[in-house]
Structure 1
Amino acid sequence: MFSKLLTFSRRQLHTIVSREIIKPSFPTPSHLKTYNLSVLDQIAINSHQPLVAFYPNLDQTCHDKITKTLELKNSLAKTLTQYYPFAGRVKKTEPAYVDCNDEGVTFIEATNDISLSDFLQQSEHEDLDPLFPDDLIWFDPHIRGDTEGVTCPLAVQVTRFACGGVAVASTLFHKVGDGRTTFNFMNHWAAVTAKKDINPAQFLHHPTRSINLPSIFSARSRMGCVTRSFLFPNRKLNDLKSKVTAMTMESGQPIMDPTRVEALSWLLHSRAMAAATKKSSGTFKGSDMIFPVDIRGILVDKLAPTSVGNMFLSIECRVTYERELEPHITIGEMRKMKVVFQSIPNLESVMQIFGQMSPETALETLKRIDECYIYTSVCRFPTYDIDFGWGKPVKVTLGGTIKNATVLMAAPDGDGIEALVCLEKEDMKILQNDPELLAFC
C-alpha cells in the first residue's frame, strides 16, 4: 500500500491510497490458456477505452467502505473467471493472441476531497483523467502498465468522494474488445456484485491467424483539444428530425423518419465543419465522416449481444465539398451502407475480407481515418444498467475523447442524447456559441 498525491484543476486533491492485483477466483482451464485474437482484433488501434460510472452517498461508515471494497474485489475475481483473457497478457508487437495466464488486473483505490455533486457540476471533462488507472486513456502516448511491450488488457479504479459518493472506472485494451465489450464487462461485474442474474459473456474461438500487420498507433491525440458535453432533449431531437425530413424532401431525395442518431450526427458534423471554416477565414476544407457500427445484431447470422471482441464495421461518408454536407447525402450514405452490412452472411465473411488486407493498405486506411471526424453511438448499450447493488448510476461517461471524435450516449435522465464532442479549443469556442446547434440543445 502506498500513497500518491495528484492535483488537478479547481483545487481538487486526488489521492491514490492502494494498488492491488486481482486474479480470477478459479484458474483458467488449460484448454483456454491461449485466446486467439480475431482479424478485427488485430487491426484494432493500440488504445484503451475508459468508462466510468458515478454513484452517490454510498458509504456511511468506515465499515461500509471496507465491506464494499471487499465486495468489489471478490466480485471482480469471480467476473474474471468468465472474462478470463482480461486477466492475461497480450504482446503489443505481436498481437495475435492473449496469454491467459491469470496474472490478474490492477485494482486501484483512490479518494477525492470534494463531494461528488461538486465534482460533476464544477469539473470539465478533462478533470476525469485521474479517475482512470495508470493514465490508460485512449491514445495517451505515455501509457503505463506496459512492461517490455506486454500489456494487461484491463485495469480498474474505485474513487471515493468526500460525501461518500463513488466512481467505478475501467479501461480496456482495444485489441481485446470494442465499446460494447467494455459496457458488457462493467454490467457483468456489477451484476455479480449485486448477486443478480446476467447473460454470460460469449467468447468466439478464432483460428490461429496472424495477419502480420505492424503495431498501429493513431496519430490522434488530445493535445490542444477539449471535450465538452451537449444535451439534446427528445423534444428538440424531434424538431431536428422534422427539419431533416423537410430539407431532404426539398432536395428531391427524401429521408423519411430519420433516426435521432442519424439526424444528430449530421447536425454535429455540419456545425463542426462550419466552425472549422470560420476559423479558417471562410475557407472550406472537407473532412470525411466515419461511423463505427456494431455488427452483432445486423449480420444475417446474428451474434449474441454479449459477444466479446471487436465486432464493428465503419461507414465512411466522403465530404470534399460543402454541398456534400446536405443531410440527404450524409444520411443516405449511412443507410445504404447499413443495408450492405445487413447482407453479410456471418462474422467469418467479415474476417475473410479483412484477412486479405496488406500492411500497406492497413496503414493507408489508418492515415485516412486519422483525418476524419468520427461519430459513434452507444445509445443502445446498457449504459445506465450498471448497478452494483447500490442503485443505478447518476452519471456514466467516457474519459475525454480524442480530436474530432464524438460519442453519442443516452442522457442521464433518459430524456434525449448526450453528445461528448472533442475538438481543437478554437473550434470548440465557436461550436459552443453556434445558434444553429444550440437551437436543439
Structure 2
Amino acid sequence: MTIISRLVKFSRRQLHTIVSKDFIKPSSPTPSNLKTYNLSLLDQTSTNTFMPMVALFPNSHVCRDKTLDLKSSLSRTLTKYYPFAGRLDKLAPAFIDCNDDGAEFLEASVDGTLSDFLQRSQHEDLDEFFPYGQVHRNSNRGDDDPQSDRMIPLAVQVNHFECGGIAVAVSLSHKIADGVSMAHFFNDWAKIARLSSRDQKHKLDIDPKFISFPDININCMGFSLERSSEHLTWSFMFPNSKINELKVKVKAMTAESGQPIANLTRVEVLNWLLHKCAVAAATKNNLGVFKPTLVAHPTNIRGKMIQPLPEKSIGNFYTILEIFTNNESEMRPEAFINELQKKKTQLKGLKDIDTFIDLLINSSLEQAQRNIDRAYICTSLCGLPLYDIDFGWGKPVKTTIGGNLRKNSFILIDAPNGDGIEALVCLGKEDMKIIQSDPELLAFC
C-alpha cells in the first residue's frame, strides 16, 4: 500500500471503540436429546470461514435501550437456533456440541455519522463493524482465545454511530450455515425483537428446521478459497432500468445467433456480463491470450428437488453448478446462459437430499477443489429478505457482505428499495483497474 493510499484510507476511517463484550446464552436450556448436532457431509465439505453480514439502520428516535433489546431477543432466538450457541472443533469438525455456551456479543461506538460512512466509505471499511474484524478467514482475535481448540460459531457486534444510527454485524461460521440460513436467522432475530417490544409475543412463529443427520466424520477441512492482499473487492450498482436494457441486449444477441433465450433472469444476465468483463480484463493482462475458465454458481437446492426440503432448513443446502468456457465462443450468452439454465433444470430431477448426498460421497473432493481453484465464483443472494430485517426501528438503509472476497468472485445482492442489484466484485488489482473503466460494464451501472 502506497503512502498516498494509506492517507486516503486514514481520512475515511471512523474511530471504533469496543465498549462491552458479553456472551448471550439461549433463554431456555437445550434438551438433552439435542445436545449433539451432527454436521452433514455438505456442512463438513463447506469452507471453514465466517460469513460476514451487516445491516445499517438510521436513527429511528425510538426511546428504548436498543442494546438490551438486542441481547434479550438474541437469547430467545438462540433457543430456536440452539446449534449457533454451541461449540465445534476448529479443524475438520463433524458435529456441534450444543452446550449453550452462547454467542459472542460486542458493542462498539463509532466516532462519526452513518450518512458520512455511507457517502465516504469503501467496501473494506465495513470490516471494522465485525467482532474482531472476523470476516471470511480474517480475524484479529489473536492467540489469547481461552477456547483456542474450539470455535465459537456465532459472533455479533452492535455499532452505535454518534447520530443514533446502528450497524448490526453478524459473523457466522459457514460450517453450520449457508447464506439462506444466515438470512433466516437475521430476520427471525429481528422479528423476535420487534414483536416482543410491541408485546405481541403470541404472534411469534419462529420455526427453523435443523435436520438430523447420521454420525459420519470424513475428517475434511472443507474447500479452500484463496484470498490475498493482491486482490480488491469493489461494489458496482446496477439499477433495474439498466438491467432491463441488458436483458434486451442479450435477447437480441441470442436471437441473432439462432439460439434465442426468452426467459432471462436478472441474475443470469449479470453473471454473464460480469464474467465476460472479468475474463476480458484477465486476457488483456495476459498479453491478449485467452485462458479457458470455469464459472461456479453456488445454488440453493432446498426447493429444487422432487422431495423438497423446508425453505427454513438451516445448514448448508447448496450445490455448485459448473459452466466451462474453453474458448471465446463459449463466452457468448447463447452458450453461457443456455448451459446455466440446463444445469438448473437437471437439479429438478434429484429425488431428495439423501440422493444428493450420495452423489457427493461418490464424487472426487480433490477434483472439486481443483475446479474451485481456477473458477470464477458467482453467488446470488437476490430474493432473500435482507431488507426486511426490522428490529422495531424500521428497515435497514443498506444490507451487505463485509470483507475482501475470495479471488475472482462476484456476490449479487438486491439493492435498497428493490431498485436493482449491487454486485460485489473481487479481482486481482490489475484486472480490477481495467474492469473499473470498462465501458461495456459501466453502460449498465
Alignment of 1:161-310 (within 5 A): 161-195=161-195, 197-213=204-220, 215-216=221-222, 218-310=224-316
Deviation by residue 1:28-58 (Cα, 9 ceiling, x = unmatched): 0000000011110011010000000000014
The corresponding residue for 1:337 is: 343
Cα displacement (A) at 1:139: 2.5
Quick one: which amino acid aligns to residue 190 of structure 2? A
Cα displacement (A) at 1:362: 1.3
Q: Secondary structure at the match of 1:413?
A: helix
Change in 2 beyond 3 A, CA 1:186/1:307? same
Cα displacement (A) at 1:60: 7.2
Cα displacement (A) at 1:413: 2.1
For 2:42 and 2:112, locate their aligned partners in 1 and report how far apart those are by CA, in whole Å: 42
Alignment of 1:21-40 (within 5 A): 21-40=23-42
Kindly indicate whether the alpha-carbon contact (under 8 Å) linking 1:22 and 1:73 is maintained by their aligned counterparts in 2. Answer: yes
Quick one: which amino acid aligns to residue 443 of structure 2? A
Cα displacement (A) at 1:59: 5.4
Cα displacement (A) at 1:433: 0.8
For 1:322 and 1:385, locate their aligned partners in 2 and report how far apart those are by CA, in whole Å: 41
Quick one: which amino acid aligns to residue 15 of structure 1? T
Q: Secondary structure at the match of 1:390?
A: coil
For 1:166 and 1:204, locate their aligned partners in 2 and report how far apart those are by CA, in whole Å: 34
Quick one: which amino acid aligns to residue 213 of structure 2? H
Q: 2:395 aligns with which of 392, 396, 399?
A: 392
Q: Secondary structure at the match of 1:176?
A: coil
Cα displacement (A) at 1:230: 1.1
Kindly indicate whether the alpha-carbon contact (under 8 Å) linking 2:56 and 2:398 is maintained by their aligned counterparts in 1. Answer: yes
For 1:146 and 1:187, locate their aligned partners in 2 and report how far apart those are by CA, in whole Å: 31
Quick one: which amino acid aligns to residue 57 of structure 2? Y
Quick one: which amino acid aligns to residue 246 of structure 2? L
Structure 1 range deviating more: 384-393 or 410-419 = 410-419
Kindly indicate whether the alpha-carbon contact (under 8 Å) linking 1:146 and 1:152 is maintained by their aligned counterparts in 2. Answer: no
TM-score by length of 2: 0.92
For 1:9 and 1:221, locate their aligned partners in 2 and report how far apart those are by CA, in whole Å: 26
Cα displacement (A) at 1:184: 0.6
The corresponding residue for 1:4 is: none
Cα displacement (A) at 1:166: 0.1
The corresponding residue for 2:118 is: 120
Cα displacement (A) at 1:82: 0.4
Q: Does 2:434 match 1:427?
A: no
For 2:91 and 2:13, locate their aligned partners in 1 and report how far apart those are by CA, in whole Å: 40
Quick one: which amino acid aligns to residue 265 of structure 1? N
For 2:85 and 2:151, locate their aligned partners in 1 and report how far apart those are by CA, in whole Å: 10
Alignment of 1:7-86 (within 5 A): 10-58=12-60, 64=64, 67-86=65-84
Change in 2 beyond 3 A, CA 1:33/1:8? farther
Q: 1:405 aligns with which of 398, 406, 409?
A: 409
Deviation by residue 1:53-100 (Cα, 9 ceiling, x = unmatched): 000014577xx4xx1111100000000000000000111334111000
Quick one: which amino acid aligns to residue 286 of structure 1? P
The corresponding residue for 1:365 is: 368
For 1:239 and 1:303, locate their aligned partners in 2 and report how far apart those are by CA, in whole Å: 36
The corresponding residue for 1:153 is: 153
For 2:194 and 2:246, locate their aligned partners in 1 and report how far apart those are by CA, in whole Å: 40
Cα displacement (A) at 1:135: 2.6
Kindly indicate whether the alpha-carbon contact (under 8 Å) linking 2:62 and 2:393 is maintained by their aligned counterparts in 1. Answer: no
For 1:411 and 1:105, locate their aligned partners in 2 and report how far apart those are by CA, in whole Å: 29
The corresponding residue for 1:381 is: 384
Kindly indicate whether the alpha-carbon contact (under 8 Å) linking 1:199 and 1:306 is maintained by their aligned counterparts in 2. Answer: no
Cα displacement (A) at 1:322: 1.7
* Alignment RMSD (CA, Å): 1.8
Structure 1 range deviating more: 216-225 or 187-196 = 216-225
The corresponding residue for 2:199 is: none
Q: Percent identity?
A: 50
The corresponding residue for 1:438 is: 442
Change in 2 beyond 3 A, CA 1:178/1:322? same
Where structure 2 has 5 or more consecutive residues not aligned to the other structure, the ranges are 1-8, 196-202
Quick one: which amino acid aligns to residue 98 of structure 1? I
For 2:274 and 2:306, locate their aligned partners in 1 and report how far apart those are by CA, in whole Å: 31
Structure 1 range deviating more: 362-371 or 395-404 = 362-371
For 2:37 and 2:11, locate their aligned partners in 1 and report how far apart those are by CA, in whole Å: 42
Deviation by residue 1:254-308 (Cα, 9 ceiling, x = unmatched): 2112111101100010001111112223222222111011011111112222110
Quick one: which amino acid aligns to residue 211 of structure 1? I
For 2:39 and 2:161, locate their aligned partners in 1 and report how far apart those are by CA, in whole Å: 38
For 2:146 and 2:376, locate their aligned partners in 1 and report how far apart those are by CA, in whole Å: 29
Cα displacement (A) at 1:117: 0.6
The corresponding residue for 1:418 is: 422
Change in 2 beyond 3 A, CA 1:386/1:222? farther
Quick one: which amino acid aligns to residue 268 of structure 2? E
Cα displacement (A) at 1:430: 1.1
